[in-house]
Amino acid sequence: MENLYLFHPSSYAIGETEKFYSDMAAKGWKLEERGRLLSHFQLSKPSKLRYRVEIIPPKFYEEEENRGPTSEQLSVFRECGWRYVTGHDAVHIFCTRESNNAPELYLEPIEQAAPIKKLRNRYILYLLGALFFFSTYADGLFIHHSFTEWITRHYNWFIENPALEIAHFSVILIYFWFLFSFCKGLIKLSLLHNNLQKGIPLDHSPKSKWQYSKIILFIFVLFEIIGLISYLLSELFL
Amino acid sequence: MVNQGPMTEATYYILLALMKPGHGYGMMQRIRELSNGRINMGPGTLYGVLTRMKKEGLIIMTGEYERRKNYHITEKGIEALHAEYERLKTLVQDGKILEEEG
């Protein structure tokens, strides 16, 4: 197997992301591409690489090919020993060999505060969007039914059609997973921004069990898929 | 004379370094020399300050050589640098009473 696709930490987990990619490189898996949820690795010889995240939030009017670091930024970073690897949305990854002794991207914590603040503001928008979505769902729900009626109705549906109800319930769980993730991201980025402003540097190797969160999301999505497939099969063959 | 607020240390040293046209890594080394090793700048900081100074018209990018972007200080940048130097000299001058008071 020469290619590997794995979940990576969320965009707010900057130190965890850097450690994740460095650990993978040490095991012989070099980062090729970062997507929304998954990162693509290619088999290579184990190497001691330092990965660093650079936050470059795209402007909404920017076309896809113009997003990310400018040629000027790539030039300055490259001269200082940092190679651009990949990026998705606001998260862009640079890498250098440990032996290069390249200077850190930011030597004073406060210098990194501005881009972190921009990312934090995006999480405020994500959270507001999720809450607005919930309010429209809950509004329709509770205007026409009480919560007890809602529970009873869904229990009856579960008896009649468990597969579809599992799929429906999985959607709700996935929604709450994202809502929780946005809240966690907002809190973490706010704390990080405050720390950077106080001169406390970002921890590039934090101890964190971020993988469990992604496994939970994977399980919810799996239930969703199994529920939908079971329902469709039951409709086709019964 | 350019009327401006105080300059950050990073801006001041980058403008000072660009009295001789230069490129990214060369600038970082020059800043280290000018400050006797006191100022170390990361590429993230350097790029951020260069972008801001270009917007303010203090520097321009003059071209590219061997994939390196070269920068040059403008007349406005030289004026701003001299103004900042005079401001810093005034501060030191005014602070001389500290030496007199021992």
Q: Which of A66 and A159 is assigned the larger pLDDT?
A: A159
User: Could you give the C-alpha distances from A149 to A8, A16, A145, A152, in angstroms and in order?
Assistant: 40, 44, 6, 5
What pLDDT, in 10s, does the model give residues A10-41? 999 999 999 999 999 999 999 999 998 899 99
pLDDT of residue A146: 72
What pLDDT, in 10s, does the model give residues A142-174? 556 677 777 777 777 778 888 888 888 888 888
pLDDT of residue B43: 92
Candidates A50, A72, A82, A96: best to mutate against B (most CBs of B within 10 A) is: A72
CB contact under 8 A, B44 and A114: no
Query: Which residue of chain B comes nearest to A103, CA vs CA?
Result: B42
Chain B residues touching A76 at Cβ < 8 A: 24-25, 43, 46-47, 50, 69
User: Could you give the C-alpha distances from A58 to A53, A220, B12, in angstroms and in order?
Assistant: 15, 30, 29
pLDDT of residue A145: 65
Quote the minimal CA–CA distance from B99 to chain A in Å: 31
Cα-trace Rg, chain B = 15
Distance CA A52, CA A15 (A): 8
pLDDT of residue B2: 47
The reported pTM is: 0.83
User: For the residues B5-21, what does the mean pLDDT come to?
Assistant: 89
Element (DSSP H or E) covering residue A179? helix A162-197
The single-letter code of the amino acid at A93 is I
Chain A residues touching B45 at Cβ < 8 A: 106-108, 111
Number of cross-chain residue pairs from A and B with Cβ atoms under 8 Å apart: 62
**B60 — contact with chain A (CB < 8 Å)?**
no
| Predicted confidence (pLDDT) at residue A213 exceeds the cutoff of 50 | yes
Instruction: Please give the DSSP secondary-structure letter assigned to residue B58.
Output: S
What pLDDT, in 10s, does the model give residues B27-71? 888 999 999 988 888 899 899 889 889 999 999 988 777 777 889
pLDDT of residue A117: 93
pLDDT of residue A13: 93
pLDDT of residue A188: 94
Chain B residues touching A108 at Cβ < 8 A: 42, 45
Quote the minimal CA–CA distance from B57 to chain A in Å: 17
B69 closest CA partner among B28, B25, B23: B23
Distance CA A222, CA B65 (A): 53
| Predicted confidence (pLDDT) at residue A184 exceeds the cutoff of 90 | yes
Instruction: Please give the DSSP secondary-structure letter assigned to residue B45.
Output: H
The partner residues of A61 in beta bridges, in order of sequence, read none
A203 closest CA partner among A10, A15, A51, A9: A15
Chain B residues touching A114 at Cβ < 8 A: 48
Contacts of residue A179, Cβ cutoff 8 Å, sequence gap at least 6: A127, A130, A131, A134
pLDDT of residue A30: 95
Quote the minimal CA–CA distance from B46 to chain A in Å: 8
pLDDT of residue A12: 93
Quote the minimal CA–CA distance from A177 to chain B in Å: 34
ipTM for the complex shown = 0.79
What pLDDT, in 10s, does the model give residues A89-142? 899 999 999 998 898 999 888 888 988 999 999 999 999 988 888 777 765 555
Candidates A50, A74, A76: best to mutate against B (most CBs of B within 10 A) is: A76
Chain B residues touching A79 at Cβ < 8 A: 23-26, 43, 68
In this structure, chain A runs to a length of: 238
Quote the minimal CA–CA distance from A221 to chain B in Å: 38
Mean pLDDT of chain A: 87
User: For the residues A39-58, what does the mean pLDDT come to?
Assistant: 94
